[in-house]
Amino acid sequence: MLDANFWHDKSESKKILKEKKLFEDLINSLKETTTKLEDLDDLFKIANEENNKNILNEIYENIKDLRNIVKKNEIKCFLSNEADALDCYVEIHAGAGGTESQDWANMLRRMYLKWSDNKKFISKLISEHKGDEAGIKSSTIKIEGDYVFGWLKKESGIHRLVRISPFDSGARRHTSFASIWVYPAVDENINIEILEKDLRIDTYRSSGAGGQHVNTTDSAVRITHTPTKIVVQCQNERSQHKNKETCMNMLKARLYDFEIKKKEKETENFESSKSEIGWGHQIRSYVLQPYRLIKDNRTNFESTNPEKVLDGEIDEFLEQSLYQIK
């Protein structure tokens, strides 16, 4: 029976309900899988006695499906860290290379948005700086759903693209880089102290969506946290007040992620990683020419179907990354 005050703390009750749903899904899946396996075992005995190869092949295919279900449930068990259940922000930054890298950054943003849609999650555009000719220089999106940060947390790093450039009249092969940074969207239940004296708040004219009003007022907000040099910005709302509120939530999230990294003794600094968007630092390569291959440099997992991956079907890469967590 629920405590009488359970619903008073909305953030805590939301967290508990997420955990409850995860455990219920795992238990229900286990029951269904066990029942199906028992049914297949009975069917196998009959088919084996009758030497019915068609039924035996069908049983084999069903067992493969059950193994995939068990594997996915096993992956869910890795999502046990405090922040894994939280929503997340995904920052995309184009590397050096002008239009090529800016188009690549836009392709990556589309990949994560498609992944979010496939999962029936909610995605929101927080900020966007368009490229000079195509694509984006940078963008931040927020994805809301069950264990989003847990799924995407290992996507942070440099992503490399090799292809025949659609912007090169000579049809030459180009290599482009973009960085991804994923951090959890903290809720009210997590206390992060932010001092007013540590903030520099700038307003500027937005260039994003929102109609004519957005382009004629200084509604966009940029906040710099001077001790850590963390910068967040938002321009998707028509109201400067709402953009500032979103920025403060993002800053809280970034500072929380900063503390997590310190506790885990991960010394890689975000600002320095952003400044080294180039050779030797990529976590994943997407090669479209002269051959077609996507390879994760940390897990060595590969796919020969780039279109499928760039359309948001990245679960296999995410799963392999989760297996690497110690």
Q: How confident is the model at residue 238 (pLDDT cuts 50, 70, 90)?
A: confident
Q: How confident is the model at residue 57 (pLDDT cuts 50, 70, 90)?
A: very high
What per-residue confidence (pLDDT) applies to 215? 52
Residues 265 and 293 in one domain: yes
Average pLDDT of the chain? 85
Residues 72 and 86 in one domain: no
Residues 174 and 294 in one domain: yes
Statement: residue 224 has pLDDT above 90: yes
Residues 273-295, mean pLDDT to the nearest whole number: 78
What per-residue confidence (pLDDT) applies to 259? 80
Residue 290 lies in a domain: yes
Nearest 5°: phi and psi at 288? -105, -25
Looking at per-residue pLDDT, the higher value among 244 and 209 belongs to 244
Residues 246-255, mean pLDDT to the nearest whole number: 91
Residue 285 lies in a domain: yes
Q: Which amino acid is at 89?
A: Y
Contact indicator for 72, 135 with CB cutoff of 8 Å: no
Residues 221 and 119 in one domain: yes
Q: How confident is the model at residue 296 (pLDDT cuts 50, 70, 90)?
A: very high
Statement: residue 213 has pLDDT above 50: no
Residue 197 lies in a domain: yes
Residue 1 lies in a domain: no
Residues 149 and 235 in one domain: yes
What per-residue confidence (pLDDT) applies to 114? 98
Statement: residue 129 has pLDDT above 50: yes
Q: Which of 59, 76, 93 is the last residue of a domain?
A: 76
Q: Tens of pLDDT along 17-53?
A: 877 887 888 899 999 999 999 999 999 999 999 899 9
Statement: residue 255 has pLDDT above 60: yes
Secondary structure string (H, E, C) spanning the chain: CCCCCHHHCHHHHHHHHHHHHHHHHHHHHHHHHHHHHHHHHHHHHHHHHHCCHHHHHHHHHHHHHHHHHHHHHHHHCCCCCCCCCCEEEEEEEECCCCHHHHHHHHHHHHHHHHHHHHCCCEEEEEEEEECCCCCEEEEEEEEECCCHHHHHHHHCEEEEEEEECCCCCCCCEEEEEEEEEEEEECCCCCCCCCCHHHEEEEEECCCCCCCHHHHHCCCEEEEEECCCCEEEEECCCCCHHHHHHHHHHHHHHHHHHHHHHHHCCCCCCHHHHHCCCCCCCEEEEEECCCCCEEEECCCCCEECCHHHHHCCCCHHHHHHHHHCCC
Looking at per-residue pLDDT, the higher value among 155 and 68 belongs to 155
Tally of domains in the chain:
2
Q: How confident is the model at residue 80 (pLDDT cuts 50, 70, 90)?
A: confident
Residues 151 and 37 in one domain: no
Q: Which of 58, 76, 94 is the last residue of a domain?
A: 76
Residues 49 and 139 in one domain: no
What per-residue confidence (pLDDT) applies to 324? 72
Rounded Cα distance between 325 and 75, Å, is 11
Segment among 115-129, 147-161, 252-266 with least mean pLDDT:
252-266
What per-residue confidence (pLDDT) applies to 214? 46
Name the residue among 305, 44, 84, 240 with its Cα closest to residue 314. 305
Looking at residue 154, which CATH number applies to its domain?
3.30.70.1660
Looking at per-residue pLDDT, the higher value among 192 and 244 belongs to 244
What per-residue confidence (pLDDT) applies to 211? 45
Q: Which of 49, 76, 103 is the last residue of a domain?
A: 76
Q: How confident is the model at residue 158 (pLDDT cuts 50, 70, 90)?
A: very high
What per-residue confidence (pLDDT) applies to 11? 65
Residue 2 lies in a domain: no
Residues 268 and 193 in one domain: yes
Residue 292 lies in a domain: yes
Residue 3 lies in a domain: no
Residues 71 and 174 in one domain: no
Looking at per-residue pLDDT, the higher value among 75 and 311 belongs to 311
Residues 55 and 35 in one domain: yes
Residue 4 lies in a domain: no
Residues 259-285, mean pLDDT to the nearest whole number: 62
What per-residue confidence (pLDDT) applies to 316? 93
The token duo for 231 is 């910068």
What per-residue confidence (pLDDT) applies to 326? 46
Residues 64 and 138 in one domain: no
Range of the domain at 55: 10-76
Residues 43 and 138 in one domain: no
- CA-based torsion, 160, 270, 136, 144: positive or negative: positive
